[in-house]
């Protein structure tokens, strides 16, 4: 969330398979300011491992993971650098 408490971006990658959800996340994170958040929606089972691994490798903060109605997960990522 940004300073006003709003999410800065939502990426709907449902239906896209590995590695596309993480590529979508990386592209969007590069477009937002440091401290901003990006929310990724993905239903590819590989995203459960890929998103946290990408955050660790890239020095980004995985803020929250939550199930989405109808399947898949929401990954809230804060751009840390």
What's the pTM value of the predicted model, to 2 decimals?
0.89
Q: What is the CA 6 to chain-centroid distance, rounded?
A: 15
Give the residue numbers annotated as catalytic, written as ranges: 18
Q: What pLDDT score was predicted for residue 28?
A: 94
Residues 22-73 have pLDDT tens digits of 999 999 999 999 999 999 999 999 999 999 999 999 999 999 999 999 999 9
pLDDT at residue 7 greater than cutoff 80: no
- For residues 75 and 69, the answer to whether their CB atoms sit within 8 Å is no
Residues 13-31 have pLDDT tens digits of 999 999 999 999 999 999 9
CATH 3.30.110.40 fits 10-78, yes or no: yes
Residues 6+ apart with CB under 8 A from 78: 35, 36, 37, 60, 61, 63
Paired with 50 in beta bridges are none
Q: Where are the domains of the chain?
A: 10-78
SS3 77: strand
């Amino acid at each position: 969330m940004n300073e006003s408490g709003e999410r800065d971006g939502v990426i709907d990658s449902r239906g896209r398979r590995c590695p596309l959800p993480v590529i979508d996340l990386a592209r969007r994170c590069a477009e937002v300011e440091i401290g901003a958040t990006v929310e990724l929606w993905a239903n590819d089972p590989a995203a459960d491992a890929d998103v946290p691994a990408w955050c660790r490798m890239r020095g980004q903060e995985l803020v929250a993971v939550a199930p989405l109605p109808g399947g898949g997960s929401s990954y809230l990522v804060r751009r840390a650098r």
